[in-house]
Structures are given as C-alpha cells and as structure tokens.
Amino acid sequence: MQWIDREETTNYRYKFNLLLRKNLQRDKKFQAKQFYSNCDNKGATIVIGRLKNKDSFIGGYNPLDWKINYYSYFNSHLHVRELYKPTKYSFIFSSKDKSMILGRVKSFRNAIYCNQNGPSFGASELFIQDNQNCWSYEHYDYEGIGLKKGIYELDLFEAFQVIKYI
C-alpha cells in the first residue's frame, strides 16, 4: 500500500477491520457519538463515504486515532488546540471509475481535527457532521482531490481500522 507508506514499494502488508458501516439511505443521519464509540483508540483508520446516486467515493486516512479530549470542551482555557492532532502522514482522496486522486496534508499541525460534531481532516477540509448525511469539502490544509468546494451527500459511510504487519 504505497499510498499509506509514501514509498514506491513497501514490505508491509495491511489488514482492514470494519469498525462502522452506516447506510445513510436507511439510517438517514450520521451519528458522531456512534463513530467515536466505534473508532476511538483504534489507531490508524480509513474513512470512506460513497456519494449518493454516483459511483464515486471520498474519504481520508488518519494514521493516529480519533480519541476526543472531552475535558477541553468544559475547560475554556484549553480551547481548540486540544482538538487538533498533527501528522505528516494523513491524506484525503476521491475516487471515480477506479481512479483515485490523493491529497496529502500540507498543514501538518491541523491534519486531524477531533471534535464532538464528527471527524474532520484539517480545520474544515473534509468533514462529516453529526446528524447529517453529507461531507463538506474545502481546500485548505490538504492538496486538492479533484472536487469543487461544497457539500456532497452520502448514501454510505464506512470506517476501517488499518493494521500494519510484515
């Protein structure tokens, strides 16, 4: 998986464990609480959303974890910095017709944003919000992925734990 290792070839293999699958046509809304319940402290993850009525996907890779520091919500002097997780190894992507466009993180200090509203790559680069069935895409902290800024309605959301081994 060269796109995870950032190398031409890799000696590692990966296992992907399904942590969460939400059929947003049936279940209607994404639930951030359920996401964090299933994905907190699981290490590296890939999240994928299928665009409604299209054969296209958008998503991202978080090499860290999604644990929220709930203390920061109730202690005003900790503010937003507690919610950001820096990394140089995360990325976002879009996929259509078996071709993928990968956007590496540019602003590594803002790479991952964990908050009670749902997972976010960058400050507001690619995020799905609680009680919604869409992903919002901006273009700030990551390289572009071939999409226009905007809101993309989803019909399926999945999260996978990524386990690396030799």
Reported as a single tens digit per residue, the pLDDT across 43-83 is 999 999 999 888 899 999 999 988 876 544 444 444 444 57
* pLDDT at 114 (0 to 100): 83
pLDDT tens-place string over residues 96-154: 888 889 999 998 888 998 877 888 898 778 888 788 888 888 878 999 999 889 898 88
Residue 23 region by backbone torsions, left for phi larger than 0, else alpha for psi between -120 and 50, else beta: beta
**Could you state, in order of their start, the residue ranges of all structural domains in the chain?**
13-165
